Amino acid sequence: MEVFDYIRLGILAVFQGPEVLSVFGISISITVLMIVAGFLLGIAVGATPGLAGPMAMAISLPILISAFGYHTDALLPVMGFLIGIMKGATVGGAVPAILFNTPGTPDAFITTLDGYPMAQKGQAKKALRVAHLSSASGDTFSDLVLFVCAPFLAIVVERFLDLPEKTGLIILSLSFIAAVIGGSVAKGLISTGLGLLAVYIGTGEDFYPRLSMDTQELSQGFPITTSVLGVLIIGAVFMGLEELWSQKHQSGKIEQAKDRGDQRLRWPEIKRLLPFIGRSAVIGTAIGALPGIGSTLAATLGHTLGKSTYDKKKAKDAPGFGEGVPEGVAATEAANSSVSGANLIPVLSLGIPGNAAAVFLILAAESLGGLNPGPSVFRFTTDSVNPELVAVFGLFTCMVIANLCNWTIGGVFMRTMGVMIRIPKQLLLPSVLLVTLTAIYVQETRIEALWFALGFGVLGYLMRKLGISPLPFVIAFILGGKLEETARQAFSATGNDPFFLFTSPIAAAFIVMSIAVIVWGARRGAK
């Protein structure tokens, strides 16, 4: 089969799935409907302070799996819904930042610097239009890079990297994530170490219980949903409840300024914004392709470089960045939105999640089957059909549809989401906790899973209190099994050579780079 045959099959898999309804005689498949539904939910979640896209993805995944069942036919509908949430939440995150000066995420804080002053000047709707244009443009650019680079990178890895090299690559990825995320190298290594410790409890490659303390419950290991949802979601809920307790006497709601002037975004203004959008889209895409760095750095760099360019050209009496200029909103939103597509490059080509959203896409693929992220998915076979490659092009089609939703209905829907800010957190957070625990029990159907989840929730809370990022823990938990499997296979393939990582120049280079990354991160922290 040729490349275009695989592309055609991937598109057909999305559009010719089970029909759920017909609009003006056009049949709508279940996958398309799930993408649109996930996108609208994502905007609503992004517009609600205290919630985030990964949180909604985490709660939705077990529910979706229970509804669709464990079979490969459910892969594209479930993945389409999760992709819709990821795309929508990225756009919706600008709403509370601009309207109420309430960033839901660290990168949204950068948006407040110019977005909220615009709202105070009566230009809230224009600020939202700028945010939508920039976010949709950056996201589209990032997806195009993903479609081109992910297959190329996977082919290179599959052709030149054997088992020792792949083992070294996983070690390098974990080292990089530990050094970049977590506030310091020490905290990042602690988080990564805890993740590896947790995943190796129970039955491993030797098929006997490890570190189980002779208990039946631990001998089976920790289910991936309990650890991931516990540390990421339940830990965040516990932290949010504590903040509510300490801030219960906080002052009331913020009054919104009345609209003033023309709220439309005209072509001369768009032309002025395009250089800022383009530059930030490139920055965000480059950063997104590196596992673990995330959108916060992209937003910061986009805003900083945008400010430098703006200051060189602005008139003396013109407002600057931080004083409510559309260029500031454009530079920030294009940068943080362009991370989302590029983050899937290491996911699809290497099987390495780079952020929390990517974690749940991998979980969906592992739970449902039909797609094992890594270099093998891009293996083009001419004599037979590679179903994983068809699924990948179906996934690309889902992302294109989500982008079309962003360009068409995203702007209108996001401007209606200001009401979400008014949901009290004292009602929202317990509801999130209840839904998360229910979703875990529905999937695992055993009471100890709830205790595991609550235990990991406490761990996630303590990590946040100590300034330790839980993301290295989650990524290490997911990659730990693959690391052990690859290392054991490499050990056997090299004749039980304990120095197998140093028999290959590429593998040795990966190990040296891992050490260098840790040293660089430690020196940076010391400065």
Mode of pairing for the β-strands spanning 202-203 and 209-210: antiparallel
Share of the chain above pLDDT 90, in %: 10
Two tokens, residue 417: 């989401």
Two tokens, residue 5: 């045959």
Q: Closest Cα partner for 339 from 86, 64, 51, 9?
A: 86
Residue 252 confidence (pLDDT): 46
Q: What is the DSSP letter of 232?
A: I
Mean pLDDT of 6-16: 86
Residue 158 confidence (pLDDT): 64
Mean pLDDT of 406-432: 74
Chain centroid to CA 210: 32
- Residue 18: strand, helix, or coil: coil
Residue 190 confidence (pLDDT): 92
**CB atoms < 10 A from the CB of 69, how many?**
10
Q: Counting beta carbons within 10 angstroms of the beta carbon of residue 80, is it exposed (0 to 12), middle (13 to 18) or buried (19 or more)?
A: buried
Is the distance from CB of 98 to CB of 114 less than 8 angstroms?
A: no
- Where helices occur in 445-504 by DSSP H, the ranges are 447-465, 471-493
Q: How confident is the model at residue 118 (pLDDT cuts 50, 70, 90)?
A: confident
Q: Closest Cα partner for 110 from 358, 356, 294?
A: 294
Half-sphere exposure of 6 (CA within 13 A, CB side): 23
pLDDT: is 350 or 422 the higher one? 350
Two tokens, residue 136: 């949709």
* pLDDT surpassing 80 at residue 471: no
pLDDT: is 331 or 445 the higher one? 331
Per-range mean pLDDT, top range of 74-83, 160-169, 173-182, 468-477: 74-83
Q: What is the DSSP letter of 201?
A: S
| Amino acid, single-letter form, for residue 455 | G
* Spatial CB neighbours of 499, under 8 Å, sequence gap ≥ 6: none
Q: Which residue has the tokens 């309430």?
A: 102
Residue 419 confidence (pLDDT): 59
Least confident piece of the model among 22-31, 203-212, 440-449? 203-212
This prediction's pTM: 0.71
Mean pLDDT of 55-61: 83
Please tell me the total number of residues recorded for the chain in this structure: 527
Distance between CA atoms of 30 and 52, rounded to whole angstroms? 25
Cβ-count burial 475-511 (b if 16+ within 10 Å, e if not) = bbbbbbbbbbebbebbbeebeeeeebbeebeebbebb
User: What digits encode the pLDDT tens for the residues 251-286?
Assistant: 444 444 455 556 677 888 888 889 999 988 888 888
SS (H, E, C) 71-139: CHHHHHHHHHHHHHHHHHHHHHCHHHHHHHCCCCCHHHHHHHHHHHHHHHCCCHHHHHHHHHHHHHHHH
Is the distance from CB of 176 to CB of 291 less than 8 angstroms?
A: yes
- Residue 437: strand, helix, or coil: helix
Residue 293 confidence (pLDDT): 55
Two tokens, residue 254: 């913020």
Distance between CA atoms of 340 and 86, rounded to whole angstroms? 8
Provide DSSP, 392-420.
HHHHHHHHHHHHHHIIIIIHHHHTTGGGG
Q: How confident is the model at residue 35 (pLDDT cuts 50, 70, 90)?
A: very high
Residue 209: strand pairing partners: 203
Residue 17 confidence (pLDDT): 74
Distance between CA atoms of 96 and 108, rounded to whole angstroms? 9
Provide DSSP, 260-290.
-S-----HHHHHHHHHHHHHHHHHHHHHHTS
Q: For the packed helices 387-405 and 30-46, what is the interaxial angle rounded to 10 degrees?
A: 50
Distance between CA atoms of 218 and 462, rounded to whole angstroms? 22
Half-sphere exposure of 312 (CA within 13 A, CB side): 5
C-alpha distance across the termini of the chain, in Å: 55
Half-sphere exposure of 430 (CA within 13 A, CB side): 4
Distance between CA atoms of 296 and 294, rounded to whole angstroms? 6
Chain centroid to CA 277: 21
User: What digits encode the pLDDT tens for the residues 281-323?
Assistant: 888 888 777 665 556 667 777 877 888 888 887 777 778 777 7
Distance between CA atoms of 222 and 200, rounded to whole angstroms? 9
Distances from the Cα of 112 to the Cα of 46, 103, 107, 108, angstroms: 15, 7, 9, 7
* pLDDT surpassing 90 at residue 412: no
Two tokens, residue 223: 């289910």
Mean of pLDDT over the chain: 80
Q: Closest Cα partner for 39 from 8, 72, 78, 85?
A: 85
User: What digits encode the pLDDT tens for the residues 420-469?
Assistant: 555 676 777 788 788 778 877 877 778 888 899 999 999 999 998 998 88
Least confident piece of the model among 129-133, 314-318, 341-345? 314-318
Residue 80 confidence (pLDDT): 92
Residue 253 confidence (pLDDT): 46
Residue 525 confidence (pLDDT): 67
Q: What is the DSSP letter of 421?
A: G
- Residue 152: strand, helix, or coil: helix
Distance between CA atoms of 225 and 448, rounded to whole angstroms? 13
Residue 210: strand pairing partners: 202
Is the distance from CB of 22 to CB of 396 less than 8 angstroms?
A: no
